[in-house]
Amino acid sequence: MSWNNTFPSSKNMENKVEKFKSGFVTLIGRPNVGKSTLLNYLVGEKIAIVSSRPQTTRNIIRGIVTFDEAQVIFLDTPGIINLNQVKTPIDRYIIEEALKSLEGVDLIIVMVEPFAISKEDEFIKFIKVILQDLKGVKKPVFLAINKMDKVKKIQLDSLQKEYRALFPFTQIIPISAKKGTNLSILMGEVIQHLPSHPAYYSSNLITDQPERILVAELIREKIFLLTRQEIPYSTLIKVESFEERNKNLIYIRATIYVEHPSQKGILIGKGGGRIKQIGKLAREEIEERLGCRIYLDLRVGIKKKWRRRKESLKELGYQI
């Protein structure tokens, strides 16, 4: 993927500052619709982890895309589920924070999958109430119908009609975040609807996520890949040490905390096989991202009931 993301030269700066557009855009939707996949594609790097299971994203991740005449800051949010269905206080807190992010941004992209809207669909009802509250604020609300690669065009056409009847979306754009389909159209429309404002971030920055958090997230992604049921949801990863030992080697020590002793056994696996595999996959990807060799020292610990405390993630340096 190659976006034209060179920054205006200082010579033209004066002229362009007035025309320069910049703003914050929240991606919101149910779990698993492809929000993080879209963020990664637009930024051109994997900054948010992705899995085939719901509720992968836990915190708000900012991805920054800079062009000659615009800078767009996308906020990837945890998937929204009905607050009556949340299992733990931390899940409730995470969702409330995602919803709060809608207030402070310049544009909202609601993302859905390309399947029929059933009348009982809780998310639609829920989002309608939220968007209607926001209507007073008058900000553009786009609908991105993702995973268009999974359905036929005729289905998409009727779906667009259904959604149009549901809410006065500023734009409805079918996309495929995985394949990149229609993403330049989406980006173009987003920029058009942003306010004139100077860039918020330096042009070479793609995220403000600290490296330690990225490392913790990549480890969590491998846990999603290699364990089942509650395990990935019960893990909390703390990067305790991140030292450049020499020019070519970074030593990283991280502890994976789980909530129960039984989960610790599952995570370690027979003869330590599972934790080794998690470590191997995580190390390979962290090396690719950081561009140097790393030594990954993974440990497993128990932190009972961490999901009952909404401060748990913040304490580790996550932005929520």
Q: Which of 44, 45, 51, 86 binds ligand GTP (CB under 6 A)?
A: 51
Q: Which of 57, 59, 227, 234 binds Mg ion (CB under 5 A)?
A: 57
**Which residue intervals of the chain are DSSP H helices?**
10-19, 35-43, 89-104, 122-134, 153-166, 183-192, 211-226, 231-234, 261-268, 273-290, 312-315
CA dist., res. 80 & res. 68, Å (int)? 34
Nearer to Mg ion, 53 or 135 (CB): 53
Half-sphere exposure of 59 (CA within 13 A, CB side): 25
Stretch that binds Mg ion, among 15-23, 31-39, 101-109, 151-159 (CB under 5 A): 31-39
DSSP-assigned beta bridge partners for residue 28? 110
Residue 84 φ/ψ, nearest 5 degrees: -75, -15
Which partner in ligand GTP, Mg ion, none is near 275 (CB below 5 to 8 A by kind)? none
Q: Does 147 bind ligand GTP (CB under 6 A)?
A: yes
By CB under 6 A, what part of segment 149-188 binds ligand GTP?
149-150, 176-178
**Cβ–Cβ < 8 Å for 252, 282:** no
Nearer to ligand GTP, 176 or 209 (CB): 176
3-state DSSP assignment of residue 264: helix
Nearer to ligand GTP, 51 or 255 (CB): 51
Nearer to ligand GTP, 181 or 277 (CB): 181
Q: Does 235 bind Mg ion (CB under 5 A)?
A: no
Checking DSSP bridges between strand 236-246 and strand 249-258, what pairing results, if any?
Answer: antiparallel
Residues 6+ apart with CB under 8 A from 210: 317
By CB under 6 A, what part of segment 74-103 binds ligand GTP?
78-79
**Cβ–Cβ < 8 Å for 148, 156:** yes
Residue 33 Cβ vs ligand GTP, minimum distance, rounded to whole Å? 4
Q: Does 32 bind ligand GTP (CB under 6 A)?
A: yes
Q: Does 37 bind Mg ion (CB under 5 A)?
A: no
- Contacts with ligand GTP by CB under 6 A lie at 29, 31-37, 50-52, 54-57, 78-79, 146-147, 149-150, 176-178
